[in-house]
Amino acid sequence: MATVYVTHHKFPTNPQYFVINLHKAAGFVPEDNPNFRPSFALGERFWKLFIYTSGLDSSGESVGPLVADVIGTETTVKEFVDARLAELCGLIDWSQQGQFSPEVDSAAPVVVEQFPRVSQTGVPITSPVVLRVQDIIPGNGVDASTVSLTIDGFDVSPSVAGNKYDYTFTFSPKPIFDS
């Protein structure tokens, strides 16, 4: 059993409680197995998943619970749980969970890490340039497609990793070869 709190970026003081129960189970119906006699007493093994939440929908009714059977690996189960949590969060009316009102995104995103540092000397020309930008909740996040990076007056195209609340932009200069 796992318990987690999920917070909506517009209602950070109003987290919703989720309980996830996951059990390995086997079906009651024996499966035919031509390689062995007699047949196995149990069917195929699968994961039995239960997700409960404290969240309410727009009419004040409880959201969930979700009950599902999942066949697959741990990765398959994790992806399934992540998708179902997102679905349940989409059903919750975050504005109707008590005396909470949406908070306004009043702060700009900030650079929390940078390499090389400002005025750093002795940095090889082939070193990557890395910027980590965060937009702290109740921020709306950063739209990576609107970010531009200029190095020494030249526009460059960085690689992007992360999510809209915590992006890392990396530009790696092309190697210089002596002729």
Residues 18 and 85 sit within 8 Å (Cβ to Cβ): yes
Residues 134 and 165 sit within 8 Å (Cβ to Cβ): yes
Between 148 and 29, name the one with better pLDDT: 148
Q: What is the per-residue pLDDT across 47-88, written as a single tens digit (0 to 9) for each?
A: 888 999 988 888 888 888 888 888 888 888 889 999 999 999
Q: What is the per-residue pLDDT across 77-125, written as a single tens digit (0 to 9) for each?
A: 889 999 999 999 989 888 766 555 667 788 899 999 999 998 889 988 8
Between 44 and 53, name the one with better pLDDT: 53
Residues 22 and 16 sit within 8 Å (Cβ to Cβ): no
Domain boundaries, the chain: 2-96, 110-171
Q: pLDDT over 70 for what percent of the chain?
A: 83
| Mean pLDDT, rounded, for 17-31 | 74
Q: Range with the lowest mean pLDDT among 65-79, 92-106, 141-155, 158-172?
A: 92-106
Residue-level pLDDT at 30: 55
CA angle 154, 160, 162 (to 5 degrees): 150
Give the separation between CA 144 and CA 166, rounded to whole angstroms.
Answer: 10
Residue-level pLDDT at 57: 86
pTM for the full predicted model: 0.51
